[in-house]
């Protein structure tokens, strides 16, 4: 993952590295989803390879995070096999001035929420393009819906004045 001269990619790399530097040896780490988090995963792998970091276990929040973790040599585990998550690093789609977030644009929302909520420390990594004055300015609000509830949830959102659009989860949480 080289950055070249792209300032946004450079910022993503720096933010990802700063988050990964917070991980201590022996930690169980929630591995989030997204472009900035990918740099954090890469840096964790670099730290493991150099010996600067030892004995960590990653819990991926998506197919993308799992593939990257394996690529960079991060041992993976599951929620069934651990007692706690020490730190989770994950991205966001939008962040407002009050630090409210929209997450889930990459279709890994449920897994992200489970892993992130179980972490003792949750670090959100974003670049400046994710900062907005008002949530919903640049990104639609993702809503998790079980297939059996599509119709009633659609009606409820419409009753609130929303215009729901069904989106299939085909990006980061599956091939």
Catalytic residue annotation: 112
State the Cα–Cα distance between residues 70 and 76, nearest whole angstrom.
8
Q: What is the H or E stretch that residue 124 is in? A: strand 119-125
State the Cα–Cα distance between residues 162 and 155, nearest whole angstrom.
9
DSSP secondary structure of 50-97: HTSS-S-EEEESSHHHHHHHHHTT--B--GGG-S-EEEEEEE-SEE-T
Quote the DSSP letter at residue 131.
B
Task: Answer for the pair 106, 33: CB distance below 8 angstroms, yes or no.
Answer: yes
Question: Residues with Cβ < 8 Å from 30, sequence gap 6 or more?
Answer: 58, 59, 61, 85, 87, 88, 89, 90, 115, 116, 118, 119, 122
Distances (CA, A) of 69 to 53, 57, 166: 15, 10, 30
């Amino acid at each position: 993952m080289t950055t070249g001269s792209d300032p946004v990619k450079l910022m993503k790399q720096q933010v990802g590295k700063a988050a990964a530097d917070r991980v201590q040896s022996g930690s169980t780490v929630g591995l989030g989803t997204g472009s900035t988090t990918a740099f954090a995963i890469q840096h964790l792998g670099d730290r493991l390879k150099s010996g600067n970091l030892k004995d960590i276990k990653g819990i991926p929040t998506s197919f993308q995070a799992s593939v990257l973790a394996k690529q960079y040599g991060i041992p993976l585990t599951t929620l069934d096999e651990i007692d706690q998550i020490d730190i989770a690093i994950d991205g966001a789609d939008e962040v407002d001035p009050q630090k409210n977030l929209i997450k889930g644009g990459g279709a890994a929302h449920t897994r992200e929420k489970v892993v992130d909520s179980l972490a003792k420390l949750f670090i959100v990594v974003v670049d400046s393009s994710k900062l907005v004055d008002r949530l919903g300015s640049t990104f639609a609000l993702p809503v998790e819906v079980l297939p059996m509830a599509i119709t009633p949830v659609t009606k409820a959102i419409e009753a609130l004045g929303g215009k729901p659009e069904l989106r299939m989860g085909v990006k980061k949480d599956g091939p």
